[in-house]
Amino acid sequence: MKTATALPAPALSYKPKVKKLLIKGIIYLTSEKLFTFASVIAVLWEWWGVCTDDTHAIAYGAMVWLAAFTPWAWRQTARDLRQDRLGLKQW
């Protein structure tokens, strides 16, 4: 059953302090999608370093993986702690 009238959204009486694009960017940078993409790039980079015997390429691949892993791990840890505090997580 469709509603005949739509309720208007309340107007904001204040200007938002954080832009929506910034919030979406932070969510994407801590997502599993970026971690998976960066992991594939890091593996290819490290494989190239092993094939060419280039230790710098191996180190750069490790740094790319670590740069993608750290925010994702923080997000997952914060989520687990939040759910544990609320009693939603059963260990």
Tell me if 2 is assigned to some domain. Answer: no
pLDDT at 88: 78
Tell me if 1 is assigned to some domain. Answer: no
What is the tally of structural domains in the chain?
1
Q: What percent of the chain has pLDDT over 90?
A: 37
Rounded to whole angstroms, what are the CA distances from 2 to 6, 14, 79, 83? Answer: 10, 32, 37, 36
Residue 64 structural domain: 20-86
Tell me if 71 is assigned to some domain. Answer: yes
pLDDT category at 21 given cuts 50, 70, 90 is confident
Q: What is the pLDDT of residues 51-90, one digit of tens each?
A: 999 999 999 999 999 999 998 899 888 888 888 888 877 6
Q: For residue 87, is it left (φ>0), alpha (ψ between -120 and 50) or beta? A: left
pLDDT at 12: 60
Tell me if 91 is assigned to some domain. Answer: no
Q: Which is more confident, 60 or 2?
A: 60
